[in-house]
């Protein structure tokens, strides 16, 4: 990914990217985004952007496989997270959802993932230690809880589902306190221009609305210009 596009994506929120994808595609109906309300470990941290490094975990019950298998898979998991193109996000499905209890994303695990070069984590599972998570590693999760349960890795480098969004390994994900989406590869060449066009189009209404003396007549004119310009 070009550095300029990455920097731009970090400065805009996920709803902006969601709309900009439709601008780039030239039509409404983009639907590769999460459903429902997710929680951010740091709502002020802005967006996280990266290629998905995926896995699936469980914590409700102890693992039934031999301990050496579980330990080996755990190390394979961290090896997987340390590899691949950057920027990268850990995208981890808790298969216990919606009854997830295992707070996989606490102080230790987030610090390890940050140290391995990941830019954040997206999960339908649980996070904790909210006052102690490292700066610069946001977590967008399904819930907050106190326990790690019997958390263990079940699968690595596999398709996952997070709040209704299917994500495949290596797909480009944009996420913040609003949720997450997958950026289609086909729109990448046009996405920066689409974001700028979207922001300019929104200003057709926002600019006049923020000025003193805003009236219905001014709104009507601004909205007409907005309707002509938007996707």
Tell me: is residue 56 an annotated ligand-binding position. Answer: no
* Beta-carbon contacts of residue 36 (< 8 Å; ≥ 6 apart): 163, 164, 179
CB 97 within 8 Å of CB 142: yes
How far apart (Å, rounded) are the C-alpha atoms in residues 16 and 18? 5
Give CA–CA dist 31/147, Å, rounded. Answer: 34
User: CA 38: distance to chain centroid?
Assistant: 10
Q: Is the dihedral of CA 19, 168, 79, 60 positive or negative?
A: positive
> Which DSSP state fits 213?
T
As given in the structure block, the two tokens for residue 99 are: 């009854």
Is 42 marked as a binding-site residue? no
CB 17 within 8 A of CB 188: no
Specify whether the backbone of 79 is left (phi greater than 0), alpha (psi in -120 to 50) or beta: alpha
Binding-site residue ranges for substrate: 128
Binding-site residue ranges: 128-129
Binding-site residue ranges for Mg(2+): 129
């Amino acid at each position: 990914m070009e550095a300029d596009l990455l920097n731009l994506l970090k400065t805009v929120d996920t709803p902006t990217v969601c709309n900009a994808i439709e601008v780039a595609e030239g039509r409404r109906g983009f639907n590769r985004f999460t459903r429902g309300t997710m929680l951010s470990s740091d709502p002020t941290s802005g967006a996280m952007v990266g290629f998905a490094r995926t896995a699936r975990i469980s914590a409700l019950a102890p693992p039934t496989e031999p301990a050496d298998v579980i330990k080996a898979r755990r190390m394979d998991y961290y090896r997987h997270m340390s590899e691949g193109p950057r920027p990268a996000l850990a995208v981890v499905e808790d298969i216990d959802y919606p009854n997830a209890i295992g707070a996989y994303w606490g102080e230790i695990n987030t610090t390890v993932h940050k140290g391995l070069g990941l830019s954040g984590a997206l999960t339908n599972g649980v996070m904790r230690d909210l006052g102690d998570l490292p700066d610069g590693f946001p977590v967008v999760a399904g819930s907050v809880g106190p326990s790690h349960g019997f958390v263990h890795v079940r699968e690595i480098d596999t398709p996952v589902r997070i709040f209704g969004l299917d994500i495949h390994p290596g797909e480009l994900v944009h996420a913040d306190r609003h949720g997450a989406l997958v950026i289609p590869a086909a729109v990448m060449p046009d996405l920066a221009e689409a974001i700028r066009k979207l922001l300019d189009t929104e200003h057709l209404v926002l600019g006049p609305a923020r000025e003193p003396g805003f009236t219905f007549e001014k709104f009507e004119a601004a909205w007409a210009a907005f309707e002509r310009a938007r996707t």
